[in-house]
Amino acid sequence: MQQDNRASYATRWENSRGREVAEPPSATRTPFQRDRDRLVHCSAFRRLMHKTQVFIAPEVDHVRTRLTHSLEVAQIARSIARTLGLDEDLTEVIALSHDLGHPPFGHTGEDALDEAMKPWGGFDHNDQALRVVTRLERRYPKFSGLNLSWETLEGLVKHNGPLIGPRADGKTRDDLPPTIREVDGRFDLALDQFAGPEAQVAALSDDIAYNHHDLDDGLRARLFSIEDACQVPQVGAAFRAVETEYPGVEQGVLIAEAVRRLIGDMVGDLLEETRRRLLDDRIGTVGDVYANARPVVGLSPEMAEAERALKRFLYANMYRNALVNQERNEGKRIVSSLFRYFLWTPDTLPKEWRKGCDGPGGGWTARIVADYIAGMTDRYAKREFRINLGSTAALA
């Protein structure tokens, strides 16, 4: 079991609110270690290996996928949790699970599914992640899903903040995606409060990872140059510092070292700002974290602005790059076409997916088709498109 060097405000596995289906405790693992292990062994996690982060079905080995991104988020998050005295295993499982609901082709695939599912409540990757771990994974004879602990589900759903109430722009339960609303009805996830400290760490670790690793990927893919990136003040300072310390260093090492330092600077700022908030807000227990009027884990105003500057650069020079947009448009076309095809010909779905369909164009059929497509990898979606729609221009 875990050694007891946790801070007073950490989530304690001994006080876990348990699982929806009661199970005997493990003799060798805490509930959160068990959750992490179940997540790592599930099919949806393995499929992240072939899902887009930014580049669709990348053939260059160094480019990130959803899986490598999730592993990098978990590494950053676990290091921060250890330094702050939080539960490392809970932090890690939330970090590893945060992208489970992403369909093929990244955010473009999500946009396409959301548009297709508008008559039936839309599509949201956070809601889909919850569907995966509570329903779609089929590994255990006694329950559907992974039967994760309350704390893991709560962190997965709320890692970006409250979902209803005054801290969520006045949104109500009626504004929630269907699965979150359903699971909250059974589990009471306190959706009007901030998540626990471990989930807050996982959320900011996601930002730290994708900002800087997208910078790395964009440079290595030559979507922009080092000179272009150095227009961002903090990025420029990091590259100049490395070049000064290591004159003539090869470009690949220069990029890696500068990105490493940028990540280290942001992690250091997060730790300093979080400690400041813990003191200023008089946080003594995990209950204080939930009830606090603001997130306990955060960046200083100066670092938050530096992060926004980097995001603006990446949006203009990477996410809107002509090559990336061309790939995204193709991905959107594939997802939209597959949805229409399977919605109106559900008998062509794999046998295990036909159960529950209510005929061509039906609402239950639409939900099943969305689940089926959301679980696809980029390459599987392309193959399904080629096999089923390669010569059907009307549906493409």
- pLDDT digit string, tens, across residues 210-224: 999 999 989 988 889
Helix (H, G, I), strand (E, B), or coil: what is residue 392? Answer: coil
The amino acid that residue 80 corresponds to is I
Beta-sheet strands, E only, within 37-106: none
Residue 376 is classified by DSSP as: -
pLDDT category, 396, cuts 50, 70, 90? very low
CA distance 354 to 341: 14
Percent of the chain topping pLDDT 90: 84
Please spell the DSSP secondary structure of 308-340, one letter per residue. HHHHHHHIIIIIT-HHHHHHHHHHHHHHHHHHH
How far, rounded to the nearest angstrom, does the alpha carbon of residue 62 sit from its chain's CA centroid?
20
Query: What is residue 42's DSSP assignment?
Result: S
Q: Hey, which residues does 165 pair with through a beta bridge? A: 171
pLDDT at 99: 92
Residue 324: pLDDT over 70 = yes
- 64 confidence band (pLDDT: 50, 70, 90): confident
- Which residue(s) pair with 140 in the sheet? 143
- Dihedral sign, CA of 32, 87, 166, 111? negative
At 1, is the pLDDT very low, low, confident or very high (cuts 50, 70, 90)?
A: low
How far apart CA 81 and CA 92 sit, in angstroms, is: 9
Confidence band of 107 (pLDDT split at 50, 70, 90) = confident
Structural element, H or E, at residue 200 = helix 197-220
393: pLDDT strictly greater than 60: no
Listed in sequence order, the residues at least 6 apart from 260 whose beta carbon sits closer than 8 Å to its beta carbon are none
Say if CB 57 and CB 379 are below 8 A apart.
yes
Q: What's the whole-model pTM score?
A: 0.93
The answer, yes or no, to whether residue 54 has pLDDT greater than 70, is no
Q: Taking 80 as the threshold, does the pLDDT of residue 158 lie above it? A: yes
State the distance between the two ends of the chain, measured CA to CA, in whole angstroms.
54
- Neighbouring residues of 170: CB distance < 8 A, sequence distance ≥ 6: none
Exposure string of 85-98, with b = 16+ CB inside 10 Å and e = fewer, is ebbbbbbbbbbbbb
Beta carbons within 8 Å of 153's beta carbon, 6+ residues apart = 130, 133, 134, 183, 187, 189
Domain regions of the chain by residue span: 325-389
Alpha carbon distances (Å) from 144 to 20, 131, 134, 141, 223: 11, 10, 6, 8, 43
What average pLDDT score do residues 1-5 get? Answer: 64
**Band of pLDDT at residue 60, cut at 50, 70 and 90:** low
**In contact, 40 and 95? CB cutoff 8 Å:** no
pLDDT score for 361: 96
- pLDDT tens, 190-243? 999 999 999 999 999 999 999 999 999 899 888 899 999 999 999 999 999 999
Q: Record the tokens describing residue 352, joined without a space.
A: 């295990």
Confidence (pLDDT) at 86: 98
pLDDT exceeds 60 at position 394: no
Q: Which two tokens stand for residue 89?
A: 């295993």
Whether 146 shows a pLDDT value over 70: the answer reads: yes
CA distance 84 to 274: 9
Q: Per residue in 170-180, pLDDT tens?
A: 999 999 999 99
Please state, in angstroms and rounded to a whole number, the distance separating the CA atoms of residues 215 and 220.
9
User: Which residues are within 8 A (CB) of 171 and not within 5 positions of it... i.e. 6 or more apart?
Assistant: 163, 164, 165
187 Cβ contact partners less than 8 Å away, ≥ 6 residues apart: 20, 150, 153, 154
pLDDT at 395: 42
Which tokens go with 360? 């061509």
What's the pLDDT score for residue 59? 52
